Amino acid sequence: MSSNTQTDMLMIEFQQGNELAGIQIYEQTWNYVNNYLKNSMPELSNYGIDSQDITQQAFTKMFLRNHQFQSRSSVKTWLCSIARNEAKIELKKKSNKNSSLDLILETNGDSIMYELQENNYYDDQENMNRVRCAVSDLGKKNLNQATTFILRYMQGLTIKVVALMTDSNISTVKTRSHRAMNYVRRIIGQY
């Protein structure tokens, strides 16, 4: 039996309540996930981010959200995806501390792009305040849409990860993202 198949079988047992299976997944895949991070995201060390910390965060999420695993991919792939997204969040936090942020609303699709720039500090603050006010206002009307907007566009998470985190299906996240983006654009346009 391949190690992926064995790990996938352990996940089924873990989802059925066998906590020892979760510990076995941890022991069998921790090095794999950590090495994946080191090799695929070498920039982590440039920002002083320890891949072991990120790997541990990924496994913490695995233990908390094992019920969300679906067998469309292997457990290792799922864990690497979680670790990669955790690393992206940490990189974004670190890079945002080192530069001012210029928030630009893009009209192509449902995306907000962040561009790092060294100038226009006051414009950056003004743009961020506008977005924060719009999202705060949205949160009073529809908390699910506001949460989706923050996770998807401000933290840069993928639709699949937002779906996992909010325990929603992908179609729901896409709809919430679209509606939230339209609302924020409309509010920002009033300034």
CATH number of residue 84's parent domain: 1.10.1740.10
| Cα Dmax for the chain | 61
Q: Name the nearest CA neighbour of 135 among 122, 125, 145.
A: 145
Q: Are residues 83 and 104 in the same domain?
A: no
Same domain, 105 and 68: no
Residues 142 and 184 in one domain: yes
Q: Which residues pair with 100 in a beta bridge?
A: 117
Q: Which domain holds residue 88?
A: 3-95
Other Cβ atoms less than 10 A from the Cβ of 58: the count is 25
84 and 104, same structural domain?
A: no
User: Is there a contact between 165 and 151 (Cβ–Cβ < 8 Å)?
Assistant: yes
pLDDT in tens, 76-88: 999 999 999 998 8
pLDDT tens-place string over residues 131-169: 888 888 888 899 999 889 888 888 788 888 888 888 899
For residue 4, the one-letter residue type is N
Q: Which of 56, 58, 98, 50 is nearest to 75 (CA)?
A: 58
Q: Which of 72, 95, 118 is the last residue of a domain?
A: 95
Same domain, 86 and 105: no
- Given this model, what pLDDT does residue 55 score? 92
Are residue 122 and residue 158 in the same domain, yes or no?
Answer: yes
